[in-house]
Homo-oligomer: A and B are copies of this chain.
Amino acid sequence: MNALSQLESLNITLPPVATPAAAYVPFAISGNMIFLSGHIAKQAGAAWVGKLGENMTTEEAKTAARAVGIDLLGTLQAACQSIGKDLNSVKRIVKLMGLVNSTPSYTEQHLVTNGCSELMAQVFAEKGSHARSAFGVAQLPMGACVEIEMIAEI
């Protein structure tokens, strides 16, 4: 399985690493673990605003979660490159945490987060199978509909 050629066959071009909106960095490497910061969904460079149960459907937010996954892969590639490697060196996607901007009654956070999880399976096959938590948050920075953080092993 070659992650980079999988991305090509999916017609995905990795974005450059986004500049964090605050006083932190996009990733931190500790031993063979790469911790990626929570990435919010973006559209045309700005926060992809929305709240599930109020003004956005599960399908729309699943698309947003897939877009977050592409941004996470851009950051993961940059993290790998910072130590002279690339996405093909990823041994395992270990864990995702999917935060879904939700009203008190919306209960499909797991279906939304699948947008990111399924991308990892497409790109990394078995190496993409990961542990995960998904839940509904009261709000997210800049009103984003979805935020996802990731841990990978190299």
A30-B153, A32-B31, A92-B30 in contact; A103/B138 too (CB < 8 A)?
Answer: yes
- Please give the number of chain A residues whose Cβ is less than 8 angstroms from any Cβ of chain B in the complex: 60
Interface assignment of A18: CB less than 8 Å from any CB of chain B: no
- Extra 12 A-B pairs, beta carbons < 8 Å, given A23-B117, A106-B139: A22-B113, A22-B132, A23-B118, A24-B130, A28-B92, A28-B94, A30-B33, A35-B151, A102-B139, A105-B139, A133-B149, A138-B138
Interface assignment of A56: CB less than 8 Å from any CB of chain B: no
Partner of A37, one of B92, B105, B131, B143: B131
A51-B104, A106-B139, A139-B104 in contact; A131/B22 too (CB < 8 A)?
Answer: no
Kindly report which residue of chain B lies nearest to residue A141, judged by CB atoms.
Answer: B110
Q: When the two chains form their complex, are residues A109 and B140 in contact, meaning their CB atoms are under 8 A apart?
A: yes
Q: When the two chains form their complex, are residues B140 and A137 in contact, meaning their CB atoms are under 8 A apart?
A: no
Q: When the two chains form their complex, are residues A25 and B131 in contact, meaning their CB atoms are under 8 A apart?
A: yes
Q: When the two chains form their complex, are residues B134 and A137 in contact, meaning their CB atoms are under 8 A apart?
A: no
Interfacial residues, chain A to chain B (CB-CB below 8 A) = 20-28, 30-33, 35-38, 51, 53, 92-97, 99, 102-111, 113-114, 117-118, 121, 129-143, 147, 149, 151, 153
Q: When the two chains form their complex, are residues B114 and A23 in contact, meaning their CB atoms are under 8 A apart?
A: yes
| Chain B residues within an 8 Å CB radius of A107 | 139-143
Q: When the two chains form their complex, are residues B24 and A131 in contact, meaning their CB atoms are under 8 A apart?
A: yes
